[in-house]
Amino acid sequence: MRLQPPIMVVLGIALGMPAFAQQQNATEAVRQAIQDYITQWQNRFNEHNSKDLATMYTSNAVRVFPDGRIIIGQKDIEQGLARGVNVVSNLLLKVEDVKAQGDVAWGYVHWTAMQKDEKGTSQPVTGNSTNTWVREADSWKIVQEGIVQILLPPPK
């Protein structure tokens, strides 16, 4: 019996998936490096340091916002962050999942913060961001960030 080429492809993929998946699980060292990076990002944000924050992105990084806006590049990201650090405070970030292969890592980060509304009243917000990081020299940088925000009901 001769197997048809499409069946061979499917069998090859099915047999290779466990090995590929195993390669993608981030090592503890990579996971800790990403968490340290995220903590540094959080600290710079809470210090209103948009200039230093922007250096934590690649030159061609992409940020996608819940309303569909897209910002590309360090300069535009810095301008966007300069506005963001003035309306968001008490940002807390936690890496929830990281996968990696070589010098690329991806995963998601859970976040909580206080955000001023149009009246200047702070309200709690939370969400997640999907991220792709690349290792440049000895540090990680964000190359893609997709932000999901959930407004929490006001406390009673």
pTM of the full predicted structure?
0.78
> What domain count does the chain have?
1
Sign (positive or negative) of CA dihedral 119, 125, 131, 136: positive
Greatest Cα-to-Cα distance within the chain, rounded to the nearest angstrom? 74
- pLDDT tens figures, 51-70: 999 999 999 999 998 888 99
Q: What is the pLDDT of residue 149?
A: 82
On whether residue 1 sits in a domain, the answer given is: no
pLDDT band at residue 150 using 50, 70 and 90 as cut-offs? confident
Return the pLDDT at 118: 83
Query: How far apart, in whole angstroms, are the C-alpha atoms of residue 126 and residue 92?
Result: 9
Q: Is residue 49 part of a domain?
A: yes
More confident residue, 120 or 70: 70
CATH number for position 41: 3.10.450.50
User: What value does the mean pLDDT of the chain take?
Assistant: 84
Within a domain: residue 156?
A: no
37: pLDDT confidence band, cut at 50, 70 and 90? very high
Asked if 54 contacts 74 with a C-beta cutoff of 8 angstroms, the reply is: yes
Predicted confidence (pLDDT) per residue in 4-30, tens digit: 444 444 444 554 444 444 445 668 888
Rounded distance, CA 132 to CA 146, Å? Answer: 9
Residue 71 has pLDDT above 60, yes or no: yes
Q: Is 101 among the domain residues?
A: yes
pLDDT of residue 156: 59
User: Pick from 146, 92, 90: which is nearest to 116 by CA?
Assistant: 90
CA distance 69 to 39: 25
- Residue 48: name the closest of 83, 93, 73, 95 by CA: 83
Q: In this model, does residue 135 exceed pLDDT 90?
A: yes
Tell me the pLDDT band of 154, cut-offs 50, 70 and 90. low
Report yes or no on 2 lying in a domain. Answer: no
Residue of 109, 128, 119, 130 whose CA lies nearest to 154: 119
Residue 44's domain comprises 27-151
Position 44 confidence tier, pLDDT thresholds 50, 70, 90:
very high
Is 132 contained in some domain?
Answer: yes
pLDDT at 151: 63
Closest of 34, 41, 56 to residue 88, by C-alpha: 41
Given its phi and psi angles, is residue 125 left (phi above 0), alpha (psi -120 to 50 degrees) or beta?
Answer: beta
Residues 35 and 28: beta-carbon distance below 8 Å:
no
Residue 21 domain-assigned (yes or no) = no
Domain membership flag for residue 3: no
